[in-house]
Structure 1
């Protein structure tokens, strides 16, 4: 039996482990919190810091293949494990490119992958010299996730909230829509693409609000998005599953925003809506099995369940029964016992042939199902 390790035990690890039950695999999870969403679903749970060299190295020696569910892992340990014969997917070299937003943007430029113009900054003083570059978006080089580590810079007054650390300042795009393409790469180099999805973001939290699949695109934009995503992922030269987030501007141009080297929020809908889910696909990659069929069974919408403002403490899902009565609606709760404002606590997938009905149901779910604290 193949031994597979996952660095990180959040909701992505949880859903990956739920799919692992269908395969002949022994699972290991490394995570600091023994009450994390993935802890009770693996065969072997190891409590430890995924950023610590010795901890990751010793954990990796227990397994045949190793993957991640978050980028903030110790790369040096992964590089050493790879040298010693452990299969690490994605490869540490690819993870090193993606982990740092500065290196990631420079990689796009080197590979002639279309992306918005950018400036590299070392500190807040350098930011104040970029008035002529506005409007722009500042992103921390490392440490950002789920909307954290990102600041919008519309005017020079916004410089005060800027980061005093190495970062990238990207020219703001005249945006038509945001889309994402999931790309799978097998150890033998075989590739498969999931159809592009369309993302709508909460401007306050800078988190995904809801998502529609497939994305509503002109045919030439569809093919352009897929071609760019495939070129980018092939340039990384690594097996794995990659989520390529892209902007479509008002002129129909497609620009890469950023890439995630793992299962991703933009692929949650595939659990019910596609022949092969993103989680099933990653197991096929990790176990060197044939890639699955990425066709959709039905169009879908996805709603993130986010902790409400003013609610921190033991979680209570208000309106859960109402949503569970809805037809072709699937609720996924991540098993997090504590909620706080802006925390991802679950998601809801909605299936249906009619796009207007999907948007209507997504709105109903958002209005009905609230993540609050228990009274």
Structure 2
């Protein structure tokens, strides 16, 4: 492989905020970056060496883009895998590997992978039509998830009782038993081509109940050591079973009886790792670059307590973004604002995030709540 710090041309499929933060880290290594995204106003457009407007789902577009780079990675899973497999056959390095992206794109295949590899997950059933919901082996309420194209809480439906069946998804789905969980947690794990594996400390997540997006994240977790160790081992097992090269975010449920179940995985930098930029020795974005460049993985230890708050567009506003309360928030020590370069806001759109670091965990949480109450994205 060419030297990653200058000679190598890295292609990124997707030009959103994850790509933007990946580029911000890659700049430190003089990496030459080329980005493909369908939105000509995508957050990455001004940061990369070359920005290409085109469909991520179109075979020819992805194939022709990939032929002009040395190594290809993703910041979104919804990409044309057929093109990636052909590029891989022709010698283009694609990380994470196309077979893994294909698996992750389909929640049915993903759940089957968990089952076949003895990875704990909620009981599930794969269905191909809404009529099969009536044959559900699970008591009400249970969860229906689209097999493909669900993201950020979209594509998930709670079937509370039989009166909800007429509004259920008609496309191929999975249904799964509702997990009575105490907490949602996450582990980000990285693996390089040499087989070196490293994990970030467990984080605890709180979700926006309306948008079903991570709204509040606390790192590191203060759960008992045994729970954290179990979550860490599960994340490592998944990475090693997949033999992934790159980053893998593993979202988990901690049940009320202390069991840990895998909810979903994502083979890329993830919302549950944004706090690592200021909160850890190495960020998730640098770790992903190290992994795909087959370099030694970085030290993931926490430097401090770090709380991450997502900046979501306010519910009643749509149009050019205005950040109300920015000055008050910037007066607080240990507060780091990250805006994603999106000109227009709309309800619950991810517009940025704020990380709060403090040696005192209680004070960090207090500041995070202040940020949440004060900094609003309006139009």
TM range (shorter): over 0.9
Residue matched to 1:282: 288
* Equivalent-residue separation in structure 1 for 2:118 and 2:295 (angstroms): 32
Q: Residues 135 and 153 of structure 1 are in contact (CA less than 8 Å); yes or no, is this contact kept in structure 2? A: yes
SS of aligned partner of 1:39: coil
- Note the alpha carbon deviations across 1:200-227, whole angstroms, 9 max, x for none: 0111111111000011211111111011
Q: Residues 131 and 155 of structure 1 are in contact (CA less than 8 Å); yes or no, is this contact kept in structure 2? A: no
* Equivalent-residue separation in structure 2 for 1:315 and 1:302 (angstroms): 21
Matching residue within 127, 147, 151 for 1:141: 147
The Cα RMSD (Å) is: 1.1
Matching residue within 170, 174, 181 for 1:168: 174
Q: Residues 2 and 24 of structure 1 are in contact (CA less than 8 Å); yes or no, is this contact kept in structure 2? A: no
Matches within 5 A, 1:85-124: 85-124=91-130
Q: Residues 138 and 176 of structure 2 are in contact (CA less than 8 Å); yes or no, is this contact kept in structure 1? A: no
Aligned residues: 373
SS of aligned partner of 1:40: coil
Matches within 5 A, 1:173-322: 173-322=179-328
Q: Normalising by the residue count of structure 1, what TM-score does the alignment of the two structures yield?
A: 0.98
SS of aligned partner of 1:349: strand
Q: Residues 36 and 51 of structure 2 are in contact (CA less than 8 Å); yes or no, is this contact kept in structure 1? A: yes
Q: 1:33 to 1:19 in 2, by over 3 A?
A: same
- Note the alpha carbon deviations across 1:52-78, whole angstroms, 9 max, x for none: 000000000111110000010000000
SS of aligned partner of 2:135: coil
Could you list the structure 1 runs, at least 4 aligned residues long, displaced by more than 6 angstroms after superposition.
none
Residue matched to 2:56: 50
- Note the alpha carbon deviations across 1:22-49, whole angstroms, 9 max, x for none: 1132110001112110011000111110
Shift of 1:160: 2.9
* Equivalent-residue separation in structure 1 for 2:326 and 2:352 (angstroms): 12
Shift of 1:313: 0.7
Residue matched to 1:150: 156
Matching residue within 121, 126, 136 for 1:130: 136
* Equivalent-residue separation in structure 1 for 2:80 and 2:178 (angstroms): 32
Q: Normalising by the residue count of structure 2, what TM-score does the alignment of the two structures yield?
A: 0.97
Shift of 1:131: 7.3
SS of aligned partner of 1:176: strand
Shift of 1:231: 0.5
* Equivalent-residue separation in structure 1 for 2:255 and 2:78 (angstroms): 31
Q: 1:156 to 1:128 in 2, by over 3 A?
A: same
Q: Residues 131 and 156 of structure 1 are in contact (CA less than 8 Å); yes or no, is this contact kept in structure 2? A: no
* Equivalent-residue separation in structure 1 for 2:240 and 2:291 (angstroms): 15
* Equivalent-residue separation in structure 2 for 1:216 and 1:170 (angstroms): 29
